[in-house]
Amino acid sequence: MDITPIIDPLNPAQREAVTSSTPALLVLAGAGSGKTRVLVHRIAWLMQVEGTSPHGILAVTFTNKAASEMRSRIENLLNIPAQSLWVGTFHGLAHRLLRRHAKEAGLPSAFQILDSDDQHRLIRRLLKTLDLDEARWPPRQVQWFINAHKEEGRRARHLAESYDPFQKQMQRIYLAYEETCERSGLVDFAELLLRAHEFLRDTPEVLDHYQRRFHHVLVDEFQDTNRIQYAWLRLLTRERENLFVVGDDDQSIYSWRGAKIENLHKFQKDYPSHRLIRLEQNYRSTSSILNAANALITHNEGRLGKTLWTEGGIGEPVSVYAAFNEQEEAYFVAERIKHWTQEGNARRDAAILYRSNAQSRQFEEKLLAMGIPYRVYGGLRFFERAEIKDALAYLRLISNRHDDPSFERVVNTPVRGIGAKTLDLVRDLARAEKCSLWQAAETLCRDAAVPTRARSPLSGFLQLIETLTLDTAELPLWEKVQHVVPASGLRAHYEKEKGEQAEARVENLDELVNAARQFEYEPQLDTELSKLDQFLSHAALEAGENQSDEYEDCVQLMTLHAAKGLEFDLVFIVGLEEGLFPSLQSLEEPSRLEEERRLCYVGITRAKRKLFLIYAETRRLYGKETYPRPSRFLREIPSEHLQEVRMRGNTGRPIAFSQTSPSTNDNGGVFKLGQRVRHAKFGEGVILQYEGEGSQARVQVNFAESGIKWLMLAYANLQRP
DNA sequence: TGTTAATAAATTTTT
DNA sequence: TTTATTAACA
């Protein structure tokens, strides 16, 4: 057998990892060091050389995108379909497991999945039912409470009795939430993992089966695993220590979502036979860029340690630009991108990375004004759109009458005269009888004591669902969807809605029919689950694309988080200011600050050829002018790795300067707007504006300690700090 | 029942 | 500044 295609494209460290005879392996893979390649080639090696059946391999990722990329790369490398291989996300695999063993795991066979939005709505409704004030028990916080406990493996009944009334109430809500989900046959994201874990843990014969079955378990982005995910991996591999993980502690940026870097240390303890291999050769960036990244990340403590290097050249220096304000920041970036494309480069190879989504606006405006096509990542995905979720809710009710969140969602959408009063009756009864909203509604419709004004629209709704069910019973999935969209009245409802968005909504509803049609051709999960139920699960588990116009050559705008795993020739990291990046909320806590630093590290290592680090001297934030200090991350990179740039064809005077004070631009060229200065008495500050000329020139300075003051330039004796 | 005015809040988001 | 939510209103 020819193993050269598996071995040849690898460097020594990669090769060591791929061919290791030790099954427990920790691959510390730096940014751009070829971690996916190692994973893919490892799997190929196991199958082709060690003769492991594809059946015996489990590969786990975090995103659907990563999973499908891995699968297709394996297929390309081996030139065979990799269907029998279990490659998927933690949630997808847990889902698969639970579908297979639904009964044994204590779930109804047609259980459905709640996404975060559904969960949030359910919690809000629950609070109302429990007659709790949302101001005191904010739904987001409740959601966080529940998910955090589930991720730690704790159910409501496991929580210790608390004397803190707040805590106590939270626990009660958690318990009630669990009951509601149970009754409605619903499972949230965290529940998928928790349930799968409990099931394996408590069902020895099944656990034994999977332990035997999976000869090798491989995990991507291991630094992002949370506690329950680790426990799940541990269960499957504890007997044979057959766990191969790839990760990078320096790129852990999701601890706020429960990711535990500690799992890397835990792995080392729990798998004593393991080997550790570092992938430090970088194939992405110039050494200028890597130097900056390496220097920055050394400011973090407790790292496993790693230094990226490259055989490639020095490349262009990393540039730092101090913009006057956020407008000028955007102008500068747009201008550079214009030159970049004029030099014959593609727009899609340029990216603007920011800390928070709100920052995208100014860049969009400038790019739009200059006629540069761009694409903003993030935002609602297809299956998360309100109109799509409405349609799915009808479909869910067709499949399962007791799906309370779906009932709530569409019982009066489109409006059919079922008001708050009527719904309260339904909810109260459901609560009293501990039954579903559907059952409660049925009972009420038979109850002569209920006024007809309330009864008839309600029974109309029940009738509608029954009719939809009957009418679509024999239809294939896509025709079911095609039938339900208009017959539910949703299409008409959105058609008569006004605004530009409404049109898109109707289009989306039509697109849902296409999505269903496409789904019909996709490979089946091996269950007796109806196609409809499979489609609904698919919709929850894979929320779909953000935007569609991927073919056009566009500048890419996204958050630093969204950029993880991507690479671009030209990268701008913008808004490098204290309080913005690092974010205000992270300044107090060292551990959160370190995460911000890792985020910056991730950003820097996205750049292949040229990197700009940009901050503004003045920034309008929440409608107020602020005078932030440049980010500490800039100071943490030694200046020999950085190069300050000024606007092209401009002797250090920002463009905005002439706009702000067109007549008074002569102060000897020493001071400019937004510049930091030091005053003997008032300390450090920033120049806001000035007026007058020569000996009459006055400047307004915002001092950190003393506030905003006007000073005569001639007497103030301002220094550059 | 849907619209409007006031008020509060304000990261990051793989599933 | 924008955005979401809520209370008051027609």
Q: What is the mean pLDDT of residues A337-341?
A: 96
Closest CA to A58 of A249, A218, A202: A218
Return chain A residues 105..134 having CB < 7 Å to nucleic acid strand C: 134
- The pLDDT tens digits of the residues spanning A14-73 come to 999 999 999 999 999 999 999 999 999 999 999 999 999 999 999 999 999 999 999 999
Q: What is the mean pLDDT of residues A414-432?
A: 85
Within 10 angstroms of residue A558's Cβ, the number of other Cβ atoms is 21
CA of residue A232 to C1' of nucleotide B13, angstroms:
22
Q: Indicate whether A708 pLDDT > 70.
A: no
Q: What is the mean pLDDT of residues A80-95?
A: 91
Strand C reaches within 7 A of the A420 CB: no
Q: Which of A216-220, A357-361, A517-521, A656-660 is least confident?
A: A656-660
pLDDT of residue A373: 93
Could you tell me the pLDDT band of residue A550, with boundaries at 50, 70 and 90?
low
pLDDT of residue A713: 75
Strand C reaches within 7 A of the A623 CB: yes
CA of residue A359 to C1' of nucleotide B10, angstroms:
13
CA of residue A82 to C1' of nucleotide B1, angstroms:
56
Q: How far apart are CA A489 and CA A391, in angstroms?
A: 10
A186: enclosing H helix or E strand: strand A186-188
A248 noted as active-site residue: no
Q: Indicate whether A655 pLDDT > 70.
A: no
How many angstroms from the chain centroid is the CA of residue A542?
13
Q: Indicate whether A527 pLDDT > 50.
A: yes
Nucleotide closest in space to A457 (CA vs C1'): B1
Q: Indicate whether A555 pLDDT > 70.
A: yes
Nucleotide closest in space to A418 (CA vs C1'): B1
pLDDT of residue A277: 96
8 A C-beta contact, residue A316 and residue A610: yes
Q: How far apart are CA A465 and CA A713, in angstroms?
A: 77
Q: What is the mean pLDDT of residues A176-199?
A: 94
A221 noted as active-site residue: yes
Q: Which of A184-198, A504-518, A666-680 is least confident?
A: A666-680
Strand C reaches within 7 A of the A622 CB: yes
8 A C-beta contact, residue A471 and residue A481: no
Q: Indicate whether A425 pLDDT > 90.
A: no
- The pLDDT tens digits of the residues spanning A439-448 come to 999 999 988 8
Annotation-wise, does A489 bind a ligand?
no
Annotation-wise, does A379 bind a ligand?
no
Q: What is the mean pLDDT of residues A215-230?
A: 96
Annotation-wise, does A692 bind a ligand?
no
Q: How far apart are CA A672 and CA A677, in angstroms?
A: 10
pLDDT of residue A380: 82
Name the active-site residue from A221, A224, A328, A329.
A221
Angle at A667 between CA A665 and CA A670, to 5 degrees: 110
Closest CA to A642 of A673, A672, A615, A669: A615
pLDDT of residue A262: 94
Annotation-wise, does A34 bind a ligand?
yes
Name the active-site residue from A251, A362, A482, A618.
A251
Q: Name the token pair of A432.
A: 């009293």
Question: Could you tell me the pTM of the whole model?
Answer: 0.87
Nucleotide closest in space to A138 (CA vs C1'): C5
Within 10 angstroms of residue A673's Cβ, the number of other Cβ atoms is 23
pLDDT of residue A689: 66
CA of residue A257 to C1' of nucleotide B13, angstroms:
8
Q: Indicate whether A189 pLDDT > 70.
A: yes
Q: What is the mean pLDDT of residues A607-627?
A: 93
Q: How far apart are CA A515 and CA A299, in angstroms?
A: 48
A220 noted as active-site residue: yes
Instruction: Please tell me the number of Cα atoms within 13 Å of A495 on its side-chain side.
Output: 7
Q: Which residue has the tokens 């050559």?
A: A553
Give every CB contact of residue A532 below 8 A, 6+ residues apart in sequence. A395, A398, A399, A477, A480
Q: Indicate whether A647 pLDDT > 70.
A: no
Q: How many angstroms separate the Cα of A399 from the Cα of each of A392, A403, A436, A504, A588?
A: 10, 9, 14, 27, 49
Q: What is the mean pLDDT of chain A?
A: 89
8 A C-beta contact, residue A42 and residue A242: no
Could you tell me the pLDDT band of residue A427, with boundaries at 50, 70 and 90?
confident
Could you tell me the pLDDT band of residue A548, with boundaries at 50, 70 and 90?
low
8 A C-beta contact, residue A576 and residue A634: yes
Nucleotide closest in space to A624 (CA vs C1'): C1
Closest CA to A657 of A419, A432, A399, A328: A328
Could you tell me the pLDDT band of residue A546, with boundaries at 50, 70 and 90?
low
Strand C reaches within 7 A of the A620 CB: yes
Q: Indicate whether A717 pLDDT > 70.
A: yes
Nucleotide closest in space to A623 (CA vs C1'): C1
A496 noted as active-site residue: no
SS3 A71: helix
pLDDT of residue A671: 66
CA of residue A220 to C1' of nucleotide B1, angstroms:
52
Q: Which residue has the higher pLDDT, A577 or A84?
A: A577
CA of residue A107 to C1' of nucleotide B15, angstroms:
20
Question: Of all residues in chain A, what percent carry a pLDDT higher than 70?
Answer: 92
A689 noted as active-site residue: no
Q: How far apart are CA A358 and CA A368, in angstroms?
A: 17
| For residue A414, cis peptide bond before it (omega within 30 degrees of 0) | yes
CA of residue A526 to C1' of nucleotide B10, angstroms:
46
Could you tell me the pLDDT band of residue A600, with boundaries at 50, 70 and 90?
very high
Q: How far apart are CA A243 and CA A271, in angstroms?
A: 8
Nucleotide closest in space to A620 (CA vs C1'): C1
Q: How far apart are CA A597 and CA A263, in angstroms?
A: 20
pLDDT of residue A666: 41
A35 noted as active-site residue: yes
pLDDT of residue A10: 95
pLDDT of residue A653: 39
8 A C-beta contact, residue A516 and residue A440: no
Q: Which residue has the tokens 């993030």?
A: A378
Q: How far apart are CA A555 and CA A346, in angstroms?
A: 8
Name the active-site residue from A73, A366, A385, A606.
A606
Name the active-site residue from A198, A220, A248, A577.
A220
Q: Indicate whether A250 pLDDT > 90.
A: yes
CA of residue A378 to C1' of nucleotide C1, angstroms:
21
A13 beta partners: none
8 A C-beta contact, residue A662 and residue A653: no
B11 C1': nearest CA residue: A356
Annotation-wise, does A30 bind a ligand?
yes
- The pLDDT tens digits of the residues spanning A173-186 come to 999 999 999 989 99
Q: Which residue has the higher pLDDT, A456 or A287?
A: A287
C1 C1': nearest CA residue: A623
Instruction: Please tell me the number of Cα atoms within 13 Å of A601 on its side-chain side.
Output: 28
Q: Indicate whether A664 pLDDT > 50.
A: no
pLDDT of residue A341: 96
- The pLDDT tens digits of the residues spanning A124-154 come to 888 888 888 777 888 888 999 999 999 999 9
CA of residue A413 to C1' of nucleotide C4, angstroms:
21
Q: Which residue has the tokens 């057959």?
A: A242
- The pLDDT tens digits of the residues spanning A446-462 come to 888 888 888 888 999 99
Q: Which nucleotides of C are covered by protein (CB under 7 A)?
A: 1-2, 6
Annotation-wise, does A51 bind a ligand?
no
Which residue blocks in A447-558 are alpha helix, DSSP H? 452-472, 477-487, 490-495, 500-521, 531-541
Could you tell me the pLDDT band of residue A651, with boundaries at 50, 70 and 90?
very low
B2 C1': nearest CA residue: A415
Nucleotide closest in space to A421 (CA vs C1'): B1
Backbone angles phi, psi at A685, to 5 degrees: -160, 180
Q: Which nucleotides of B are covered by protein (CB under 7 A)?
A: 1-2, 9-15
Closest CA to A192 of A58, A260, A92, A87: A92
Q: How far apart are CA A361 and CA A369, in angstroms?
A: 12
| For residue A272, cis peptide bond before it (omega within 30 degrees of 0) | no
